Structure 1
Amino acid sequence: MIKLENVSKKFRYNEILDHVNCEFDDGSIYLIRGKNGTGKTVLLKLLCGLSKPTEGKVTFYDQDHKAYKPYIGTIIETPIFWKDMTGMECLSFLASIRKIIDKETILDSLKRVGLYDAKDMSTRKYSLGMRQRLAIAQAVMENPDVLLFDEPTNSLDDDGVDIFRKIVLEEKEKGKTIVIVSHNIEDLQDLADYTLLLKNRNLVEA
Protein backbone atom coordinates (compact mmCIF):
# COMPACT_ATOMS: atom_id res chain seq x y z
CA MET A 1 0.00 0.00 0.00
CA ILE A 2 1.12 3.54 -0.79
CA LYS A 3 -0.13 6.15 1.65
CA LEU A 4 -0.08 9.93 1.39
CA GLU A 5 -0.63 11.63 4.73
CA ASN A 6 -1.33 15.37 4.70
CA VAL A 7 1.02 15.81 1.74
CA SER A 8 1.59 19.38 0.58
CA LYS A 9 4.04 20.64 -2.04
CA LYS A 10 5.09 24.23 -2.65
CA PHE A 11 7.57 25.82 -5.05
CA ARG A 12 8.44 29.23 -3.60
CA TYR A 13 5.03 30.87 -3.28
CA ASN A 14 3.23 28.46 -5.60
CA GLU A 15 1.28 25.77 -3.74
CA ILE A 16 0.77 22.73 -5.97
CA LEU A 17 -0.70 20.23 -3.51
CA ASP A 18 -2.51 21.01 -0.27
CA HIS A 19 -2.77 18.36 2.47
CA VAL A 20 -3.50 15.41 0.21
CA ASN A 21 -4.59 12.20 1.93
CA CYS A 22 -4.91 9.08 -0.19
CA GLU A 23 -4.16 5.35 -0.17
CA PHE A 24 -3.27 3.19 -3.18
CA ASP A 25 -3.84 -0.53 -2.62
CA ASP A 26 -2.14 -3.62 -4.04
CA GLY A 27 -3.63 -5.22 -7.11
CA SER A 28 -5.47 -2.09 -8.20
CA ILE A 29 -5.20 0.37 -11.09
CA TYR A 30 -5.65 4.06 -10.32
CA LEU A 31 -6.20 6.60 -13.09
CA ILE A 32 -5.51 10.21 -12.14
CA ARG A 33 -6.75 12.95 -14.41
CA GLY A 34 -6.69 16.70 -14.25
CA LYS A 35 -6.06 19.79 -16.31
CA ASN A 36 -2.55 20.79 -17.35
CA GLY A 37 -0.69 22.48 -14.52
CA THR A 38 -2.71 20.91 -11.72
CA GLY A 39 0.28 18.96 -10.40
CA LYS A 40 -0.18 15.44 -11.78
CA THR A 41 3.50 14.95 -12.60
CA VAL A 42 4.50 16.58 -9.30
CA LEU A 43 2.37 13.99 -7.52
CA LEU A 44 4.09 11.11 -9.31
CA LYS A 45 7.50 12.54 -8.47
CA LEU A 46 6.50 12.59 -4.82
CA LEU A 47 5.32 9.00 -5.05
CA CYS A 48 8.58 7.74 -6.53
CA GLY A 49 10.87 9.82 -4.33
CA LEU A 50 12.19 12.21 -6.98
CA SER A 51 10.72 15.04 -4.92
CA LYS A 52 10.01 15.49 -1.22
CA PRO A 53 6.82 16.88 0.29
CA THR A 54 6.94 20.34 1.80
CA GLU A 55 4.67 18.93 4.49
CA GLY A 56 3.35 15.45 5.30
CA LYS A 57 4.80 12.10 4.28
CA VAL A 58 4.59 9.37 1.65
CA THR A 59 5.07 5.76 2.79
CA PHE A 60 5.14 2.33 1.16
CA TYR A 61 4.10 -0.45 3.50
CA ASP A 62 5.08 1.94 6.32
CA GLN A 63 8.55 2.42 4.80
CA ASP A 64 9.89 5.74 3.58
CA HIS A 65 11.24 6.47 0.07
CA LYS A 66 14.84 5.69 0.94
CA ALA A 67 13.92 2.16 1.93
CA TYR A 68 11.44 1.48 -0.85
CA LYS A 69 12.52 3.37 -3.99
CA PRO A 70 14.27 0.37 -5.67
CA TYR A 71 10.93 -1.45 -5.90
CA ILE A 72 9.20 1.16 -8.05
CA GLY A 73 9.00 1.16 -11.86
CA THR A 74 8.32 4.55 -13.42
CA ILE A 75 7.84 6.63 -16.53
CA ILE A 76 8.03 10.29 -15.58
CA GLU A 77 7.58 12.91 -18.32
CA THR A 78 9.18 12.34 -21.76
CA PRO A 79 11.51 9.31 -21.80
CA ILE A 80 15.10 9.99 -22.90
CA PHE A 81 17.61 7.29 -23.83
CA TRP A 82 21.23 7.23 -24.94
CA LYS A 83 21.08 7.85 -28.69
CA ASP A 84 24.30 5.98 -29.47
CA MET A 85 23.07 2.82 -27.74
CA THR A 86 20.71 0.19 -29.05
CA GLY A 87 17.47 -0.55 -27.26
CA MET A 88 19.03 -3.69 -25.80
CA GLU A 89 22.11 -1.79 -24.66
CA CYS A 90 20.01 0.87 -22.94
CA LEU A 91 18.03 -1.67 -20.95
CA SER A 92 21.16 -3.71 -20.18
CA PHE A 93 22.89 -0.63 -18.82
CA LEU A 94 19.93 0.22 -16.60
CA ALA A 95 19.70 -3.39 -15.44
CA SER A 96 23.39 -3.36 -14.49
CA ILE A 97 22.66 -0.90 -11.67
CA ARG A 98 20.80 -3.39 -9.50
CA LYS A 99 21.96 -6.63 -11.17
CA ILE A 100 18.78 -8.56 -10.38
CA ILE A 101 17.72 -9.60 -13.91
CA ASP A 102 19.51 -11.43 -16.71
CA LYS A 103 19.69 -10.98 -20.46
CA GLU A 104 16.72 -13.25 -21.09
CA THR A 105 14.50 -11.17 -18.82
CA ILE A 106 15.50 -8.02 -20.71
CA LEU A 107 14.73 -9.72 -24.03
CA ASP A 108 11.35 -10.82 -22.69
CA SER A 109 10.59 -7.21 -21.78
CA LEU A 110 11.43 -6.10 -25.29
CA LYS A 111 9.16 -8.80 -26.69
CA ARG A 112 6.30 -7.66 -24.44
CA VAL A 113 6.40 -4.15 -25.93
CA GLY A 114 6.95 -5.29 -29.51
CA LEU A 115 10.56 -4.11 -29.81
CA TYR A 116 12.38 -7.44 -30.05
CA ASP A 117 13.10 -7.02 -33.75
CA ALA A 118 14.45 -3.50 -33.08
CA LYS A 119 16.60 -4.47 -30.11
CA ASP A 120 19.87 -3.99 -32.04
CA MET A 121 18.83 -0.69 -33.60
CA SER A 122 20.26 2.56 -32.27
CA THR A 123 17.63 4.47 -30.29
CA ARG A 124 18.61 7.46 -32.43
CA LYS A 125 16.56 5.76 -35.15
CA TYR A 126 13.61 4.99 -32.88
CA SER A 127 10.39 6.86 -33.47
CA LEU A 128 8.73 8.62 -30.53
CA GLY A 129 6.36 5.70 -30.19
CA MET A 130 9.24 3.20 -30.10
CA ARG A 131 10.94 5.23 -27.37
CA GLN A 132 7.73 5.19 -25.39
CA ARG A 133 7.56 1.41 -25.76
CA LEU A 134 11.17 1.16 -24.59
CA ALA A 135 10.29 3.26 -21.55
CA ILE A 136 7.44 0.88 -20.71
CA ALA A 137 9.85 -2.05 -21.03
CA GLN A 138 12.34 -0.48 -18.61
CA ALA A 139 9.57 0.28 -16.13
CA VAL A 140 8.38 -3.33 -15.88
CA MET A 141 11.51 -5.37 -16.60
CA GLU A 142 12.67 -5.71 -12.97
CA ASN A 143 9.25 -6.83 -11.75
CA PRO A 144 8.65 -3.89 -9.36
CA ASP A 145 5.82 -3.93 -6.82
CA VAL A 146 4.64 -0.44 -7.78
CA LEU A 147 4.27 1.04 -11.28
CA LEU A 148 3.86 4.77 -11.88
CA PHE A 149 3.08 5.93 -15.42
CA ASP A 150 3.04 9.56 -16.55
CA GLU A 151 1.10 9.92 -19.85
CA PRO A 152 2.13 6.40 -20.94
CA THR A 153 0.14 6.40 -24.19
CA ASN A 154 1.76 9.57 -25.55
CA SER A 155 3.08 8.95 -29.09
CA LEU A 156 1.78 5.36 -29.13
CA ASP A 157 -0.15 4.12 -32.14
CA ASP A 158 -3.21 1.90 -31.70
CA ASP A 159 -1.10 -1.25 -31.48
CA GLY A 160 1.11 0.40 -28.87
CA VAL A 161 -1.91 1.40 -26.78
CA ASP A 162 -3.22 -2.17 -26.96
CA ILE A 163 0.17 -3.50 -25.84
CA PHE A 164 0.27 -1.10 -22.90
CA ARG A 165 -3.27 -2.05 -21.86
CA LYS A 166 -2.34 -5.76 -21.98
CA ILE A 167 0.79 -5.19 -19.88
CA VAL A 168 -1.11 -3.16 -17.28
CA LEU A 169 -3.70 -5.92 -16.86
CA GLU A 170 -0.96 -8.56 -16.61
CA GLU A 171 0.82 -6.55 -13.93
CA LYS A 172 -2.42 -6.05 -12.02
CA GLU A 173 -2.93 -9.83 -11.98
CA LYS A 174 0.47 -10.10 -10.29
CA GLY A 175 -0.81 -7.88 -7.48
CA LYS A 176 0.99 -4.70 -8.48
CA THR A 177 -0.10 -1.22 -7.44
CA ILE A 178 -0.47 0.81 -10.63
CA VAL A 179 -0.95 4.57 -10.81
CA ILE A 180 -1.50 6.17 -14.21
CA VAL A 181 -1.61 9.87 -14.98
CA SER A 182 -3.16 10.54 -18.37
CA HIS A 183 -5.21 13.04 -20.32
CA ASN A 184 -6.12 10.29 -22.81
CA ILE A 185 -8.70 8.84 -20.46
CA GLU A 186 -10.70 7.31 -23.29
CA ASP A 187 -7.78 4.90 -23.91
CA LEU A 188 -7.54 3.79 -20.28
CA GLN A 189 -10.75 4.61 -18.42
CA ASP A 190 -12.11 1.06 -18.57
CA LEU A 191 -8.89 -0.32 -17.04
CA ALA A 192 -9.17 1.73 -13.87
CA ASP A 193 -10.46 0.32 -10.62
CA TYR A 194 -10.47 3.87 -9.30
CA THR A 195 -10.50 7.20 -11.11
CA LEU A 196 -9.27 10.25 -9.22
CA LEU A 197 -9.37 13.91 -10.14
CA LEU A 198 -6.62 16.34 -9.18
CA LYS A 199 -8.46 19.58 -8.60
CA ASN A 200 -7.97 22.59 -6.35
CA ARG A 201 -4.64 21.16 -5.15
CA ASN A 202 -6.19 17.95 -3.87
CA LEU A 203 -7.24 14.47 -4.99
CA VAL A 204 -10.93 13.65 -5.11
CA GLU A 205 -12.90 10.74 -6.51
CA ALA A 206 -14.01 11.44 -10.07
Structure 2
Amino acid sequence: MNGIELRNVSKSFKGLSLFENVSVSFEKGKIYGIVGHNGSGKSVLFKMMCGFVFPDQGSVLVNGIELGKNKRFPENFGIIIDKPGYLGDKTGFENLKYLAAIQNKISDEKIKETLEMVGLQYTLKQKVKHYSLGMKQKLAIAQAIMEDQDVLLLDEPFNGLDVDSVENIRNLLKSLNQEGKTIILTSHHNEDIELLCEHVFRVRNCTLEQLK
Protein backbone atom coordinates (compact mmCIF):
# COMPACT_ATOMS: atom_id res chain seq x y z
CA MET A 1 0.00 0.00 0.00
CA ASN A 2 0.99 3.64 -0.41
CA GLY A 3 1.48 5.03 3.05
CA ILE A 4 2.91 3.78 6.33
CA GLU A 5 2.06 0.40 7.77
CA LEU A 6 3.00 -1.18 11.10
CA ARG A 7 2.71 -4.97 11.13
CA ASN A 8 2.63 -6.78 14.48
CA VAL A 9 5.01 -4.25 15.98
CA SER A 10 6.29 -4.64 19.54
CA LYS A 11 8.72 -2.21 21.14
CA SER A 12 10.19 -1.75 24.60
CA PHE A 13 12.17 1.28 25.66
CA LYS A 14 14.38 1.38 28.76
CA GLY A 15 12.76 -1.82 30.02
CA LEU A 16 9.22 -0.49 29.60
CA SER A 17 6.90 -2.16 27.10
CA LEU A 18 5.40 0.60 24.91
CA PHE A 19 3.81 -1.37 22.05
CA GLU A 20 2.70 -4.98 21.84
CA ASN A 21 1.73 -6.59 18.56
CA VAL A 22 0.40 -3.38 16.98
CA SER A 23 -0.88 -3.40 13.39
CA VAL A 24 -2.07 -0.12 11.90
CA SER A 25 -2.04 1.71 8.56
CA PHE A 26 -1.70 5.40 7.76
CA GLU A 27 -2.99 6.10 4.28
CA LYS A 28 -1.37 8.52 1.87
CA GLY A 29 -2.85 12.00 1.73
CA LYS A 30 -4.66 12.09 5.07
CA ILE A 31 -4.10 13.91 8.36
CA TYR A 32 -3.79 11.72 11.45
CA GLY A 33 -3.64 12.72 15.09
CA ILE A 34 -1.86 10.67 17.75
CA VAL A 35 -2.82 11.38 21.36
CA GLY A 36 -1.71 9.88 24.66
CA HIS A 37 -0.15 10.91 27.94
CA ASN A 38 3.51 11.89 28.23
CA GLY A 39 5.71 8.80 28.18
CA SER A 40 3.07 6.69 26.41
CA GLY A 41 5.35 6.18 23.41
CA LYS A 42 4.24 8.77 20.83
CA SER A 43 7.80 9.92 20.06
CA VAL A 44 9.06 6.31 19.87
CA LEU A 45 6.23 5.53 17.44
CA PHE A 46 7.37 8.42 15.23
CA LYS A 47 10.99 7.28 15.46
CA MET A 48 10.00 3.79 14.28
CA MET A 49 8.07 5.28 11.33
CA CYS A 50 11.11 7.13 10.08
CA GLY A 51 13.81 4.53 10.77
CA PHE A 52 15.49 6.24 13.74
CA VAL A 53 14.75 3.15 15.85
CA PHE A 54 13.49 -0.30 14.88
CA PRO A 55 10.77 -2.47 16.41
CA ASP A 56 11.85 -5.35 18.65
CA GLN A 57 9.42 -7.49 16.67
CA GLY A 58 7.29 -6.91 13.60
CA SER A 59 7.94 -4.55 10.72
CA VAL A 60 7.37 -0.99 9.54
CA LEU A 61 6.68 -0.49 5.83
CA VAL A 62 6.67 2.76 3.89
CA ASN A 63 5.01 2.52 0.47
CA GLY A 64 5.34 -1.25 0.73
CA ILE A 65 9.08 -1.25 1.49
CA GLU A 66 10.21 -2.50 4.90
CA LEU A 67 12.48 -0.14 6.80
CA GLY A 68 15.72 -1.69 7.93
CA LYS A 69 15.90 -4.44 5.32
CA ASN A 70 17.41 -2.61 2.36
CA LYS A 71 16.38 0.84 3.38
CA ARG A 72 17.21 2.54 6.66
CA PHE A 73 15.40 5.84 6.23
CA PRO A 74 12.31 6.52 4.12
CA GLU A 75 12.58 9.21 1.45
CA ASN A 76 10.74 12.52 1.43
CA PHE A 77 9.87 12.64 5.12
CA GLY A 78 9.71 15.94 6.99
CA ILE A 79 10.21 15.37 10.70
CA ILE A 80 9.94 17.18 14.02
CA ILE A 81 10.78 14.82 16.89
CA ASP A 82 12.12 16.00 20.26
CA LYS A 83 13.91 19.32 20.01
CA PRO A 84 15.81 19.73 16.73
CA GLY A 85 19.42 20.82 17.20
CA TYR A 86 20.58 23.98 15.48
CA LEU A 87 23.80 25.93 15.14
CA GLY A 88 23.23 28.60 17.77
CA ASP A 89 25.71 31.08 16.29
CA LYS A 90 23.98 31.11 12.88
CA THR A 91 20.75 32.74 11.73
CA GLY A 92 17.64 30.73 10.92
CA PHE A 93 18.24 31.16 7.20
CA GLU A 94 21.87 30.00 7.53
CA ASN A 95 20.78 26.93 9.49
CA LEU A 96 18.25 25.93 6.82
CA LYS A 97 20.80 26.57 4.08
CA TYR A 98 23.21 24.12 5.76
CA LEU A 99 20.47 21.49 5.99
CA ALA A 100 19.35 22.08 2.40
CA ALA A 101 22.93 21.55 1.18
CA ILE A 102 22.75 17.87 2.25
CA GLN A 103 20.38 16.95 -0.58
CA ASN A 104 20.87 20.07 -2.67
CA LYS A 105 17.27 19.97 -3.91
CA ILE A 106 16.10 23.50 -3.23
CA SER A 107 17.18 27.07 -3.92
CA ASP A 108 17.77 29.93 -1.49
CA GLU A 109 14.51 31.40 -2.78
CA LYS A 110 12.60 28.32 -1.65
CA ILE A 111 14.16 28.58 1.83
CA LYS A 112 13.21 32.27 2.05
CA GLU A 113 9.68 31.53 0.86
CA THR A 114 9.29 28.73 3.47
CA LEU A 115 10.52 30.96 6.31
CA GLU A 116 7.93 33.60 5.34
CA MET A 117 5.21 30.90 5.21
CA VAL A 118 5.83 29.90 8.83
CA GLY A 119 6.04 33.53 9.97
CA LEU A 120 9.81 34.12 10.20
CA GLN A 121 11.53 36.90 8.28
CA TYR A 122 14.41 35.48 6.26
CA THR A 123 16.25 38.80 6.59
CA LEU A 124 16.38 38.41 10.38
CA LYS A 125 20.00 38.75 11.53
CA GLN A 126 19.26 37.36 15.01
CA LYS A 127 21.21 34.21 15.86
CA VAL A 128 19.19 31.10 16.67
CA LYS A 129 20.57 30.94 20.23
CA HIS A 130 18.64 34.17 20.91
CA TYR A 131 15.38 32.86 19.39
CA SER A 132 12.29 32.48 21.56
CA LEU A 133 10.72 29.01 21.92
CA GLY A 134 8.05 29.98 19.37
CA MET A 135 10.64 31.15 16.82
CA LYS A 136 12.60 27.91 17.21
CA GLN A 137 9.37 26.01 16.68
CA LYS A 138 8.66 27.90 13.45
CA LEU A 139 12.20 27.15 12.27
CA ALA A 140 11.63 23.45 13.00
CA ILE A 141 8.41 23.50 10.95
CA ALA A 142 10.18 25.30 8.08
CA GLN A 143 12.89 22.61 8.13
CA ALA A 144 10.25 19.87 7.96
CA ILE A 145 8.39 21.30 4.95
CA MET A 146 10.97 23.23 2.90
CA GLU A 147 11.92 20.35 0.57
CA ASP A 148 8.30 19.63 -0.35
CA GLN A 149 8.33 16.39 1.65
CA ASP A 150 5.52 13.88 0.97
CA VAL A 151 5.07 12.80 4.60
CA LEU A 152 5.22 15.06 7.66
CA LEU A 153 5.73 13.53 11.11
CA LEU A 154 5.20 16.40 13.52
CA ASP A 155 5.57 15.79 17.25
CA GLU A 156 3.93 18.76 19.04
CA PRO A 157 4.30 21.24 16.13
CA PHE A 158 2.24 23.91 17.96
CA ASN A 159 4.40 23.89 21.09
CA GLY A 160 5.36 27.44 22.14
CA LEU A 161 3.39 29.19 19.38
CA ASP A 162 1.17 32.19 20.10
CA VAL A 163 -2.49 32.21 19.07
CA ASP A 164 -1.94 33.90 15.68
CA SER A 165 0.94 31.58 14.83
CA VAL A 166 -1.13 28.50 15.75
CA GLU A 167 -3.82 29.70 13.34
CA ASN A 168 -1.24 30.29 10.61
CA ILE A 169 0.40 26.87 11.02
CA ARG A 170 -2.98 25.08 11.12
CA ASN A 171 -3.91 26.74 7.82
CA LEU A 172 -0.50 25.89 6.38
CA LEU A 173 -0.88 22.21 7.32
CA LYS A 174 -4.38 22.14 5.82
CA SER A 175 -3.10 23.55 2.54
CA LEU A 176 -0.17 21.08 2.47
CA ASN A 177 -2.65 18.26 3.01
CA GLN A 178 -4.78 19.56 0.14
CA GLU A 179 -1.66 19.25 -2.02
CA GLY A 180 -1.62 15.55 -1.14
CA LYS A 181 0.80 15.45 1.78
CA THR A 182 0.33 12.83 4.48
CA ILE A 183 0.52 14.44 7.93
CA ILE A 184 0.78 12.64 11.27
CA LEU A 185 0.90 14.89 14.29
CA THR A 186 0.66 14.94 18.06
CA SER A 187 -0.69 17.79 20.16
CA HIS A 188 -1.60 18.31 23.80
CA HIS A 189 -4.43 20.57 22.65
CA ASN A 190 -7.61 18.77 21.64
CA GLU A 191 -8.59 21.69 19.44
CA ASP A 192 -5.61 21.11 17.11
CA ILE A 193 -6.54 17.44 16.79
CA GLU A 194 -10.28 18.14 16.31
CA LEU A 195 -9.80 20.85 13.69
CA LEU A 196 -7.10 19.15 11.63
CA CYS A 197 -7.29 15.38 11.85
CA GLU A 198 -9.50 13.04 9.83
CA HIS A 199 -8.43 10.09 11.96
CA VAL A 200 -7.23 9.98 15.56
CA PHE A 201 -5.42 7.21 17.45
CA ARG A 202 -4.72 7.05 21.16
CA VAL A 203 -1.63 5.31 22.51
CA ARG A 204 -2.95 3.29 25.42
CA ASN A 205 -2.25 -0.10 27.01
CA CYS A 206 0.62 -0.78 24.55
CA THR A 207 -1.61 -0.41 21.50
CA LEU A 208 -3.17 2.21 19.23
CA GLU A 209 -6.90 2.66 19.74
CA GLN A 210 -8.74 4.37 16.90
CA LEU A 211 -10.89 7.21 18.31
CA LYS A 212 -11.98 8.74 15.00
Q: TM-score, normalised by structure 1?
A: 0.95
Identity of aligned residues (%): 41
Quickly say closer, same or farther: Cα 1:67–1:38, change in 2 above 3 A: closer
Contact 1:76 1:149 in 2 (8 A): yes
- What is the aligned-residue RMSD (CA, Å)? 1.4
Please list the CA deviations of residues 79-112 of structure 1 after superposition, one character each: whole Å capped at 9, or x if unmatched.
3311101000000000000101110110111010
Counterpart residue type for residue 107 of structure 2: D
| 1:166 alignment partner in structure 2 | 171
Measured in 2, the distance between the counterparts of 1:156 and 1:11 equals: 30
Match of 1:113 among 111, 115, 118: 118
How do 1:116-155 residues align onto structure 2 when only pairs under 5 Å count? 116=121, 119-155=124-160
Q: Could you tell me how far apart the structure 1 residues matched to 2:123 and 2:36 are? A: 35
Say if 2:15 is the partner of 1:38. Answer: no
Who is 1:23 aligned against?
Answer: 25
TM superposition shift of 1:117? 5.0
Structure 2 counterpart of 1:13, which letter?
A: G
Runs of 4+ in 1 over 6 A off after TM superposition: none
Distance 2:123 2:136 in 1: 11
Q: Is the 8 A contact 1:60 1:68 kept in 2?
A: no
Cα pair 2:51 2:73 within 8 Å, conserved: no
What is the DSSP-based 3-state SS (H/G/I as helix, E as strand, rest coil) of the residue aligned with 1:70?
Answer: coil
Match of 2:6 in 1: 4
Structure with greater helix share of residues: 1
Aligned pair partner of 2:79 in 63, 74, 79: 74
- Report deviation, 1:20: 1.0
* Alignment-derived partner of residue 64 in structure 1: 66
CA offset at residue 27 of structure 1? 1.4
> 1:87, 1:118 within 8 Å by CA — same for their partners in 2?
no
Q: How many residues align?
A: 206
Counterpart of 2:29, as a letter, is G
Question: How many angstroms does 1:58 deviate by?
Answer: 0.7
- 1:84 maps to 89
The structural deviation recorded for 1:37 is 1.3
TM-aligned CA distance change 1:67 to 1:124, over 3 Å: closer
Unmatched 5+ stretches in structure 1:
none
Q: CA deviation at 1:67?
A: 6.2
Gaps of 5+ in 2: none
Return the alpha-carbon distance in structure 2 between the equivalents of residues 84 and 117 of structure 1: 16
> Residue by residue, what CA displacement relative to the aligned partner does 1:130-160 show, whole Å, maximum 9, x if unpaired?
0000000000000111100001111110111
Aligned CA distance change for structure 1 residues 153 and 12 (closer, same or farther; 3 Å) = closer
